[in-house]
Structure 1
């Protein structure tokens, strides 16, 4: 059974598609064309209440289902995503503006991988036991929490949505989820897949809407016992302020201002090729992108010259064209924000080496939201441009003389999500990796992901970890049982 992007998206509650209770919808815009191409629900607390009711009704049966039963359904969802790869990818590109080849290569396959990984993982999830010699034996029971809330962003819509939903379902929870209102389409299509896979009604409920009314209602609802959120640090603070006094479990994956540390002894060709990718993949709209490029002084001018020339070839264009290296910025609001950040860099005294302007393609995309890949130098580590997350096709260049200076620059940010280190000196790689204040360190690579590893950041980049056993532990409550011998 094929899936198709509708003209009007609906909520998915209790296994059924339904209008928002108040009948209000929002425009869904294709950022590559600037045109409204569908409508999405503008839901509020009434819709969230219906979703919680459905989830609570489904929880007893789902939470006690065998791991084998849950595995079969979640693995079937993975298979159906793969079967419908082209439809999902086109919907993702039309919603987000990223090149279609990128949606096919990265976003949709990863969504399938997320379901398969956690479907398999739940079959091997084990608890601990501790022997007190001849006195007692302690063992840990892990039970699903109940109804949990999953709220995901617009930059990797289905990729990050399923990164939360899959472990929550695998652990036996029922989910009330909200995708970004900017990119709702693939979340809607996931509901069709869930129906086809035989996921019981009420186990997964997807409510569409904005953050102030719909997202806030999920966070504040007393029946939702845990919140997994990916998004801005500002929104994360608001969520924590509401949820923490209610003693909800919280996983907050927030912003990044990631350093890319390049030493003179790097593998030059591999470094340059990967730095292009880590700077401008998905128009720089990935929380893991290296937006602060730190280069050893002895190779700085060589790097700058070659990097500028290679970035010059990354022409933004129609995301449906296979030759387009860069797509559209996700929305008019974010387009204006990124251009404002570039203007700020000029005001702070930065030199625009390349880019810095909007692009106006011809034809279908004449009214789309495109920005040239932009390279800025001449700003210190304390400038707003180097401190604040831009989340667009914008990078800054800074030079360093010593390893100590490189570390000071890398750690100057209030964020601490990821970092990339380029050196052929294995001792230096270990030493610098240990000293950089980031939760994820790549050495001589970028975005090489093992789903078993913990994912998350330090400082303003969030609280908690996702991935592997960390995710399954987050979505369960441990109980210690002590039996005297």
Structure 2
């Protein structure tokens, strides 16, 4: 961090973005004047200096959220839902701007932002507004034989702290902001320092939609200086984090003295299990899709597990298709694979690959930086013959790196798929419906895709097993987390 003159606004891809915090309905610079530098992964150019928050800004944001909570929680459901639909409208009106800014900021493909990511941001608000009005009704229950009446209600918990990741910062933030606000909570968000800009634009959208001051707050800054005081703050009632397992451990320890309920979505080392009767075209398409966002996707099936009977054909066809991928500037709508987020992360990914090669892994494709493009572009990589138990098979690389392993028979394939400390997702490809039911039931993961990938209704539960996280969100599971669920028991005379 530095202390330097900071412009209040910068222009990014033709869009004006405020560089300050959003606290209590006002734009605020850091009390100590500190800033951090936002760098684009596309070309490692400086985008601008952003306010770097610390304990003072966190205290102010939490205080503003607590002040705003009673009125927001007490607002009639229809009014609160209507405001969230206005937020969704605001997002939809600015999809182009949000997409271009986030692409410059985190390097993900512009076409993905335009077609899927930003429309999903709007859906995150609209869905939970609709759910609040239409599905969160629990009729009274009568106790058989006694006549007592029991009423279940969902009372908002208070102030929700949300620490968001850089790989899909706005979409993954609003996946939690939407239900938290719908439930009647107020929110403090700490965006990722590697991609902070769209959170600032969201604050503008919230303001324009008419959200009361203090209901939504943004504290920019690093994990150490802004994230840490937020996680240990006694004024927080719920804490959400998406990121790495080691950081989650630190956050859990910081929050523990305040007994704050946690929702963690962490890493993955997910299998893509291809049985010997699989539709080969489908299996190959799903395998190559794992290079999306340069492999910086926690749900991706980084371990390609294929029955030995079809392994040779599958491997060759995956290589043939993967070699057609175009790597380049994500603002080019024809690009398929972009750059990694930072130089540090680039070196981490390359370290995994080079150690795997030294351990005896065979490089089928890629295996190092893209020398033609330079910068933070890492070649899509596929490795085979990786030693059993090696880190490339057990640890999350979070880059454009896949491994191929073979198995003999379904039982061995399931055992291989489940041989991981993670459990975020798994994908299964088979043409036999009975086999699909039987094998999918044996896979240990929060989400199992069968003959499809990366689709999920917002009403369904989402979360991970093992080291992939704590809790479930989505539909009623979100309201279970963001609310204090209360049962009121009335005597027969009431």
TM-score by length of 1: 0.96
- Offset of 1:347 from its aligned partner? 2.0
- Offset of 1:126 from its aligned partner? 2.1
Q: Which residue of 2 aligns with 1:149?
A: 161
Q: Cα gap change, 1:440/1:196 in structure 2, threshold over 3 Å: closer, same or farther?
A: same
Q: Which residue of 2 aligns with 1:315?
A: 326
Q: Please tell me whether residue 66 in structure 1 is matched to residue 76 in structure 2.
A: yes
**1:19-38 alignment runs, 5 A limit:** 19-38=29-48
- Offset of 1:380 from its aligned partner? 3.9
Contact preservation (8 Å) 2:161, 2:187: yes
Structure 2 SS opposite 1:123: helix
Q: Please tell me whether residue 57 in structure 1 is matched to residue 57 in structure 2.
A: no
Structure 2 SS opposite 1:447: coil
Deviations for 1:278-298, whole angstroms, at most 9, x for unmatched residues? x11111111111000000001
Q: Equivalents in 1 of 2:384, 2:243: separation in Å? A: 28
Q: Which residue of 1 aligns with 2:188?
A: 176
Contact preservation (8 Å) 1:232, 1:255: yes
Deviations for 1:237-264, whole angstroms, at most 9, x for unmatched residues? 1111122332111101100000000011
Q: Which residue of 1 aligns with 2:100?
A: 90
Structure 2 SS opposite 1:416: coil
Contact preservation (8 Å) 2:69, 2:185: yes
Q: Which residue of 2 aligns with 1:375?
A: 382
Q: Equivalents in 1 of 2:140, 2:33: separation in Å? A: 52
Q: Please tell me whether residue 230 in structure 1 is matched to residue 237 in structure 2.
A: no
Q: Which residue of 2 aligns with 1:161?
A: 173
Deviations for 1:311-366, whole angstroms, at most 9, x for unmatched residues? 1111310111111111111111111111111112112211111001212456xxx6
Q: Equivalents in 2 of 1:322, 1:186: separation in Å? A: 20
- Offset of 1:127 from its aligned partner? 3.3
**1:127-142 alignment runs, 5 A limit:** 127=138, 129-135=140-146, 136-142=148-154
Q: Equivalents in 2 of 1:409, 1:330: separation in Å? A: 31
Q: Cα gap change, 1:192/1:8 in structure 2, threshold over 3 Å: closer, same or farther?
A: closer
Q: Please tell me whether residue 304 in structure 1 is matched to residue 324 in structure 2.
A: no
Consecutive unaligned residues in structure 2, runs of 5 or more: 1-10
Q: Equivalents in 1 of 2:312, 2:292: separation in Å? A: 24
- Offset of 1:184 from its aligned partner? 0.5
Q: Which residue of 1 aligns with 2:291?
A: 280
**1:81-480 alignment runs, 5 A limit:** 81-124=91-134, 125-127=136-138, 129-135=140-146, 136-277=148-289, 279-361=290-372, 368-480=375-487
- Offset of 1:217 from its aligned partner? 0.9
Q: Which residue of 1 aligns with 2:51?
A: 41
Q: Equivalents in 1 of 2:30, 2:474: separation in Å? A: 32
Structure 2 SS opposite 1:27: strand
Contact preservation (8 Å) 2:326, 2:334: no
Consecutive unaligned residues in structure 1, runs of 5 or more: none
Structure 2 SS opposite 1:324: coil
Q: Cα gap change, 1:166/1:78 in structure 2, threshold over 3 Å: closer, same or farther?
A: same
Deviations for 1:158-191, whole angstroms, at most 9, x for unmatched residues? 1101001111000000001111110101111101
Task: Give the count of matched residue pairs.
Answer: 479
- Offset of 1:106 from its aligned partner? 1.8
Deviations for 1:361-392, whole angstroms, at most 9, x for unmatched residues? 56xxx6x3100100001114411111000011
Q: Cα gap change, 1:225/1:9 in structure 2, threshold over 3 Å: closer, same or farther?
A: same
Deviates more, 1:243-252 or 1:184-193: 243-252
Cα RMSD for the two superposed structures: 1.5
